[in-house]
């Protein structure tokens, strides 16, 4: 059974290490999407209000095990301070003198953020003893540990797996919320239940398709992966993204879905462009004539078409449970964002549970002007959410007493 905050008892005056996921996108040192920072607030506020001395640890990006200024958590400390409405001490290292001083100077109800965990090779090492040695250094800063970085619970990393074995450890409220939602998607969905999958590759979604196919009523396919589905049905797709080695797998999905009475909904039209560029020439084409453009076989499909967007939106808005993971097109380029925007807007009209499955989908809805509270839930962990939905065991949850 998952251990939660309440099981720690009184935390007044105690040092509590919290593993958050503050892996936010940065552009020239400026946070472009603070969703993960805001998602950490309920747990941090709960601890502050109890009078705990809070030590936050997180990673950001993929540095190579050494300090790298472009991956510093300093901008996150500033944003966290603004959102909490109180100062956040920032330590310029993770387990060095700066961190030790920051922790030692904490008073009840105060918070410190330590520098990027991945500036240390021990965080992501394949060597368990190296990870444990690093976790031991972090553990010296705390009397208890709260795991609240859902986006990393599928990783065996020092702060996710070894650290909770060294201190009294529980899950934070964010992880509790994520699990409640994901259980609804896998165990108790209200029907009709639609899953919308996009993004670039079928190979990234194989596990989730196999695990959810027996559980859903309809599966809507967009993004770059749609062209492998179309190719499996014999359509020509030009120079669109295509995983030829997945065509037989897709044929099996189509056959399995038919046997189960699950409807796999594929696009009827797509936006075909001359190049991967915002100012490229482009045309809307039915799926049977993708190559019948001035671009011929060199044309690239970069979004679902308007008829498809309308059909997907109708299906989504009419469902009681919807899980969406992956954009419908290259939403970062304005001419190819309409499909993603249509699906996002339809999710806001779901009379039931609408879940945006983290990662690119979460970035897309915010970039397109939607607010988080327009959806039932925006997951903070794309990879972790998918692995949960695939039925995989997540080490960062198992160490907290969770059994799936």
DSSP 331-362: TTSGGG-HHHHHHHHHHTT-SSEEEE-SHHHH
Please, are residues 202 and 180 in contact by the beta-carbon 8 Å criterion?
A: no
Residues 267-297 pLDDT 10s: 999 999 999 999 999 999 999 999 999 999 9
Is residue 131 part of an annotated ligand binding site?
no
Is residue 53 part of an annotated ligand binding site?
no
The rounded distance, in Å, linking the Cα atoms of 266 and 380 is 27
The rounded distance, in Å, linking the Cα atoms of 310 and 302 is 17
**Pairing mode, if any, of strands 53-57 and 111-114?**
parallel
Nearest to 220 by CA among 265, 171, 285: 265
Is residue 45 part of an annotated ligand binding site?
no
Is residue 62 part of an annotated ligand binding site?
yes
Is residue 359 part of an annotated ligand binding site?
yes
DSSP-derived secondary structure letter, 93: S
The rounded distance, in Å, linking the Cα atoms of 211 and 225 is 18
Q: 197 by DSSP, 3-state: which?
A: strand
* Catalytic residue of the set 14, 19, 36, 53: 36
Q: 190 by DSSP, 3-state: which?
A: coil
Residues 60-102 pLDDT 10s: 999 999 999 999 999 999 999 999 999 999 999 999 999 999 9
Is residue 23 part of an annotated ligand binding site?
yes
Residues 6 or more apart in contact with residue 337 via CB below 8 angstroms: 303, 329, 330, 331, 368
201 in active site: yes
Is residue 155 part of an annotated ligand binding site?
yes
* Catalytic residue of the set 357, 359, 381, 396: 359
Q: In this model, does residue 363 exceed pLDDT 90?
A: no
Q: In this model, does residue 404 exceed pLDDT 80?
A: no
The rounded distance, in Å, linking the Cα atoms of 189 and 193 is 7
Q: 134 by DSSP, 3-state: which?
A: helix
What is the pLDDT averaged over residues 43-50?
98
Q: In this model, does residue 339 exceed pLDDT 80?
A: yes
Supply 399's token pair: 């160490």
383 in active site: yes
Residues 193-240 pLDDT 10s: 999 999 888 898 888 899 999 999 999 999 999 999 999 999 999 999
Nearest to 278 by CA among 234, 225, 230, 331: 331
Distance of CA 13 to the CA centre of its chain: 34
* Catalytic residue of the set 137, 383, 392, 401: 383
Please, are residues 207 and 387 in contact by the beta-carbon 8 Å criterion?
A: yes
126 in active site: no
Residues 6 or more apart in contact with residue 306 via CB below 8 angstroms: 269, 284, 338
End-to-end CA distance of the chain: 10
Please, are residues 139 and 167 in contact by the beta-carbon 8 Å criterion?
A: yes
* Catalytic residue of the set 201, 236, 251, 307: 201
Is residue 109 part of an annotated ligand binding site?
no
The rounded distance, in Å, linking the Cα atoms of 374 and 370 is 7
Is residue 128 part of an annotated ligand binding site?
no
Residue whose structure tokens are 């770059």? 224
Q: In this model, does residue 54 exceed pLDDT 90?
A: yes
Is residue 21 part of an annotated ligand binding site?
yes
Residues 6 or more apart in contact with residue 386 via CB below 8 angstroms: 204, 205, 207, 208, 325, 357
The answer to whether the peptide bond before residue 273 is cis (omega within 30 degrees of 0) is no
* pLDDT confidence tier of residue 143, bands split at 50, 70 and 90: very high
The rounded distance, in Å, linking the Cα atoms of 308 and 305 is 5
391 in active site: no
Residues 6 or more apart in contact with residue 263 via CB below 8 angstroms: 217, 218, 219, 257
């Amino acid at each position: 059974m998952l251990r939660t905050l309440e099981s720690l008892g009184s935390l007044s005056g105690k040092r509590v290490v919290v593993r958050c996921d503050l892996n936010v996108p940065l552009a020239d040192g400026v946070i472009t999407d603070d969703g993960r920072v805001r998602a950490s607030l309920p747990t941090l506020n709960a601890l502050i209000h109890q009078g705990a001395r809070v030590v936050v640890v997180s990673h950001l990006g993929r540095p190579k095990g050494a300090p790298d200024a472009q991956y510093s958590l300093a901008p996150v400390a500033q944003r966290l301070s603004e959102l909490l409405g109180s100062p956040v001490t920032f330590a310029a290292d993770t387990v060095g003198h700066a961190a030790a001083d920051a922790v030692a100077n904490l008073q009840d109800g105060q918070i410190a953020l330590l520098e990027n965990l991945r500036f240390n090779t021990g965080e992501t090492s394949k060597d368990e003893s190296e990870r444990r040695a690093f976790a031991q250094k972090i553990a010296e800063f705390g009397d208890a540990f709260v795991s609240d970085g859902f986006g990393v619970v599928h990783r065996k990393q020092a702060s996710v797996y070894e650290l909770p074995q060294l201190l009294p450890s529980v899950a934070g409220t964010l992880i509790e919320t994520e699990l409640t939602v994901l259980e609804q998607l896998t165990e108790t969905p209200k029907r009709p239940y639609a899953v919308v999958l996009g993004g670039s590759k079928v190979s990234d979604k194989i596990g989730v398709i196999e695990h959810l196919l027996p559980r859903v009523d309809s599966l809507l396919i967009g993004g770059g992966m749609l062209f492998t589905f179309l190719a499996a049905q014999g359509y020509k797709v030009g120079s669109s993204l295509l995983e030829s080695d997945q065509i037989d797998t897709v044929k099996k999905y189509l056959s399995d879905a038919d046997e189960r009475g699950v409807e796999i909904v594929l696009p009827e039209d797509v936006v075909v462009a001359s190049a991967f560029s915002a100012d490229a020439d482009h045309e809307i084409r039915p799926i049977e004539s993708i190559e019948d453009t001035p671009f011929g076989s060199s044309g690239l499909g970069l979004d679902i078409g308007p008829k498809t967007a309308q059909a997907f939106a109708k299906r989504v808005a009419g469902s009681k449970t919807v899980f969406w993971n992956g954009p419908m097109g290259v939403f970062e380029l304005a001419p190819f964002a309409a499909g993603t925007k249509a699906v996002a807007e339809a999710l806001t009209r779901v009379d039931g549970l609408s879940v945006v499955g983290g990662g690119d989908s979460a970035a897309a809805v915010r970039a397109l002007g939607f607010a988080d509270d327009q959806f039932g839930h925006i997951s903070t962990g794309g990879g972790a959410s998918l692995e949960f939905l695939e039925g995989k065991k997540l080490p960062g949850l198992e160490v907290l007493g969770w059994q799936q």
